[in-house]
Amino acid sequence: MNFIKKYWAIFQITLINSLAYPGELIGRSLMIVPFMWIFYQLWKVTFAAAGADTLNGMTLYSTMWYLMMAETIELSRPRLANVISDNVKDGSIAYILNKPYNFLLYQFSSSMGETVFRALMNAVFGGIVVWWLVGAPPAATGWAFALVALLGTWIMNFCIACLIGLSAFLVEEVSPFLWIYQKFVFILGGFLIPLDFYPHWLQAIAKALPFAYMIYGPSKLFVAPSVDLLANILSMQFVWIAVLGSILVLSYRRGVAYLTVNGG
């Protein structure tokens, strides 16, 4: 029980920290507003040009709410890779390593504390704009299913972001890995265009990789909730968490074995 309590306390501290500067929190969250507005312009014109209310099973309404959820997930991601990379590069990782907690679990609790309110604020601002543009949000089942899948998304993102951050043990600069990861999420995750609009061969590739279960999964569940889809998304998330989590633990152990800290 104590084991959980200390990580819960870390989560709470970061959560409270994230509320210390409400102006900053709101300022960041407002970023979703122009994005949703521009998406609306793009998809309104696209649906009108196609002369159809439904394209590949998606309507303008479901596309917009899908994109709201996708944006909320992406814009709420904490800057974990940069934090860990800085920890490794400036040696402050040594300060965390000698504390009575697991480095990875510490980072997970801390990043979750940072994510929760940011996600909430993004969903509120994004939701208001989309509601105004296309109408009321999907039914409660959509919210509930998406929320369950969101937890898997956050864990998967944590594993990948940590791996990128820990690559600082080997390379000087991790930013390029981070940019490329972000762009894979954009394309293969269905962040800017729902995967339903992709050609079949690209959909097959995307669904064989983890990114689709981080963005497309929860967002699709939000607008078209079904038990079958939920089971599929959760099982794939479970598989990817097991794979990515194992790689992360192994990489972390190897990285720490190489660690040399000079001075204090």
Partner 1 sequence: MNHLKFLLAIWKANLQSVMEYRVSFLTQVVGMMLNNFIYFAIWIVFFDRFKDVRGWGINDMYVTFGVLASAFGLVSLLFGNAFTLGDIINNGRLDYYLSLPRPVLLHAVSSRMISSGMGDFTYGFLSYAVSGPFTWDGLLRFVLAILLAAVVFAAFLILVNSLAFWMGIVSSFANLMLNAMITFGIYPITLFDNYAKLILFTVIPAALMGAVPAEYIRSASWQILAQLLLGAAILLGLAVTVFRSGLKRYESGSAIQVEV
Burial of 42 (0-12, 13-18, 19+ CB in 10 A): middle
Query: From the list 9, 19, 30, 170, which residue makes contact with partner 1 (rule: CB under 8 A)?
Result: 30
Contact region for partner 1 (CB under 8 A) — 28-36, 103-111, 138-146, 150-158? 28-36
Are β-strands 58-59 and 54-55 bridged in parallel, bridged antiparallel, or unpaired? antiparallel
Query: From the list 1, 20, 49, 257, which residue makes contact with partner 1 (rule: CB under 8 A)?
Result: 49
Contact region for partner 1 (CB under 8 A) — 32-40, 109-117, 124-132, 208-216? 32-40
Q: Does 22 bind partner 1 (CB under 8 A)?
A: no
Distances from the Cα of 51 to the Cα of 40, 60, 65, 134, 192, angstroms: 16, 12, 21, 18, 21
Which of 16, 48 has the CB closer to partner 1?
48
For 72, the enclosing helix (H) or strand (E) is helix 60-75
φ/ψ (deg, to 5) at 251: -65, -40
Task: Quote the strand ranges of 13-57, DSSP E.
Answer: 54-55
**Cβ 183 to partner 1, closest distance in Å?**
4
- The dihedral through the CA atoms of 99, 102, 108, 113 has a sign that is negative
Which of 142, 220 has the CB closer to partner 1?
220
Residue 130: CB atoms within 10 Å: 25
Q: How far apart are CA 12 and CA 90, in angstroms?
A: 26
Query: From the list 11, 35, 125, 216, which residue makes contact with partner 1 (rule: CB under 8 A)?
Result: 35
**Cβ 198 to partner 1, closest distance in Å?**
6
Q: Does 172 bind partner 1 (CB under 8 A)?
A: yes
| Contact characters 116-155, partner 1, x per CB under 8 A | ----------------------------------------
241: Cα within 13 Å, side-chain hemisphere = 17
| Contact characters 190-229, partner 1, x per CB under 8 A | --xx---xxx--x---------------------------
Contact criterion met (CB below 8 Å) for 81 and 155: no
| Number of residues in contact with partner 1 under rule CB under 8 A | 34
| Interaction site with partner 1 (CB under 8 A) | 23-24, 27-28, 30-31, 34-35, 38, 41-42, 45-46, 49-50, 171-173, 175-177, 179-180, 182-184, 186-187, 192-193, 197-199, 202
